[in-house]
Structure 1
């Protein structure tokens, strides 16, 4: 048992990230059934769709699972009420102020975790009363902090500043990466990109294949003026780069991004015009496999790497 397995009542300190267009009930229940913590990504779901995913997840697993809620969500109150009504016990909040709903959720007996990208925000989250934080480095896919602090630098800095459990995220897809994060002070890890390329991920097969084919250096953090996001370099990304040469306004960037650009890419499989969010670690992901195998493989590699380290001494 460690702080994270104890907090969530799970077997392994591996949390699957609540990624938009990837993290439906199939992936969340598969990860939870394998001993990790599965998370439904509410960021790409209308309220009624989220309710359906929660209900299906409850039928598919009797293990704990959570919901990730971006605080920028337009129907935030409705989403929070559905989570409470459906009896979800774990909520990960991101992209916003943790004070907004932490006290309310905790009153309902819900464990609250907030995602941060700096020590300053980790402290604010701790002050807001969250049960744990996810500290996510610049390597991560999806929406990132503006500071560009890498996971290896961020984790020990956050550890030095907070006393609550700490989950490391960004660039972790292997058991060795997990061990490294824990040596630096993390109590567990959150894994996104590796689970995006799983059989149960709700992403389009084209996107999963693109992840497996990616090589080092083929993603880039951009659109910092809106919300920093790490993207695969495709036609849409090239259009973004081109627009930046013209000193665009925020409205220009918003117009180019348009609506449902991430859905077009990750969910509908448009590899040219879609917004394809993935982490730098994709260069180490070479296959699409069941979520249970990913969890099992990470834990086996973690234990073996730990033994190797002990033997070195």
Structure 2
């Protein structure tokens, strides 16, 4: 398939793997890129030296384009950006911050820049900042989420009407049928997160992967809306957060509760009780762990079959 996103990234299929913390290392990114999509290394859970190692390993594992996701509010961002430029990463996805800050620097180094947004307003601001494309991520998505709580079904057509640059749809997408729906709403590609967490190549812990494939409808919920909205799989840590919010805990108390390496403890080390488990609503539709290449092929085949069925 050829469209604005495949041309922009130099990839075969308009399927992008999200750069999820504690899940998206070089093994997953290279597997997705080799399968024809765009693999992304998630820098959010990596020290600078670790990120450099993952980039170098990814270069050895694939000859195809890949990218790095960079949360702009994370500490050490200057060093992260410098490593990305030095290693000649072709594509960078930025999130959680102002795209004006680093987009000119990255573009000057010949890097394609994509910014993640949760509203049409911020999509327009990103376009004005000079990014090459945006990811519009709906309320269904796992991890940190928009305060507007706009669902993907509403967000994608709103952003599509507001910008002229290519649009990648994210949030609740794990199948070819969902991909076809996103294209019908105005997207040029889809970004898939939760389903790629449940792959052998993802660096997330097997306990977390098994929790995803057994999750049922309603097992995730958006929490910490006052501080930093994040969608979590329900467990004891989630209950502790709910109790803290219900008892009117201060922002500082909530930060302390959230900031005790909880994400690493849950998603990477496999503590299903006390760890933070960031995953999307679509986990209720994921029922098995399968290789990343299979995921890409299955989504693409179902997308084509869905389009053919609708045309008929």
Category of TM-score, reference length = shorter chain: over 0.9
Offset of 1:73 from its aligned partner? Answer: 1.3
SS of residue paired to 1:53: helix
CA distance in 2, matches of 1:259, 1:33: 36
Name 2:231's counterpart in structure 1: 230
Name 1:248's counterpart in structure 2: 249
Matched, 1:279 2:280: yes
Name 1:165's counterpart in structure 2: 166
Offset of 1:227 from its aligned partner? Answer: 1.6
- RMSD of aligned residue pairs (Cα, Å): 0.5
CA distance in 2, matches of 1:21, 1:65: 18
CA distance in 2, matches of 1:224, 1:19: 20
Q: Can you list the C-alpha shifts for 1:48-67, whole angstroms capped at 9, x where unaligned?
A: 00000000000000000000
Q: Can you list the C-alpha shifts for 1:90-119, whole angstroms capped at 9, x where unaligned?
A: 000000000001011101100000000000
Question: Normalising by the residue count of structure 2, what TM-score does the alignment of the two structures yield?
Answer: 0.99
Offset of 1:125 from its aligned partner? Answer: 0.1
CA distance in 1, matches of 2:211, 2:134: 30
Runs of 4+ in 1 over 6 A off after TM superposition: none
Q: What is the number of equivalent residue pairs in this alignment?
A: 311
Name 1:204's counterpart in structure 2: 205
Map 1:108-257 onto structure 2 (within 5 A): 108-257=109-258
CA distance in 2, matches of 1:70, 1:193: 18
Q: Can you list the C-alpha shifts for 1:191-220, whole angstroms capped at 9, x where unaligned?
A: 000000011000000000000000001000
Q: Can you list the C-alpha shifts for 1:116-173, whole angstroms capped at 9, x where unaligned?
A: 0000100000000000000000000011100000000000000110000000000000
Offset of 1:226 from its aligned partner? Answer: 2.5
Offset of 1:258 from its aligned partner? Answer: 3.0
CA distance in 1, matches of 2:61, 2:124: 36
CA distance in 2, matches of 1:298, 1:220: 25
Name 1:72's counterpart in structure 2: 73
Does the 8 A contact of 2:224 with 2:245 survive in 1? Answer: no
Name 2:33's counterpart in structure 1: 32
Name 2:303's counterpart in structure 1: 302
CA distance in 2, matches of 1:96, 1:120: 14
CA distance in 1, matches of 2:225, 2:40: 26
CA distance in 2, matches of 1:279, 1:46: 25
Matched, 1:92 2:93: yes
Matched, 1:261 2:240: no
SS of residue paired to 2:238: helix
CA distance in 2, matches of 1:259, 1:111: 34
SS of residue paired to 2:24: coil
Name 1:81's counterpart in structure 2: 82
SS of residue paired to 1:255: helix
Map 1:35-50 onto structure 2 (within 5 A): 35-50=36-51
Matched, 1:63 2:44: no
Q: Which segments of 5 or more consecutive residues in structure 2 lack a partner in the other structure?
A: none
Offset of 1:257 from its aligned partner? Answer: 1.6
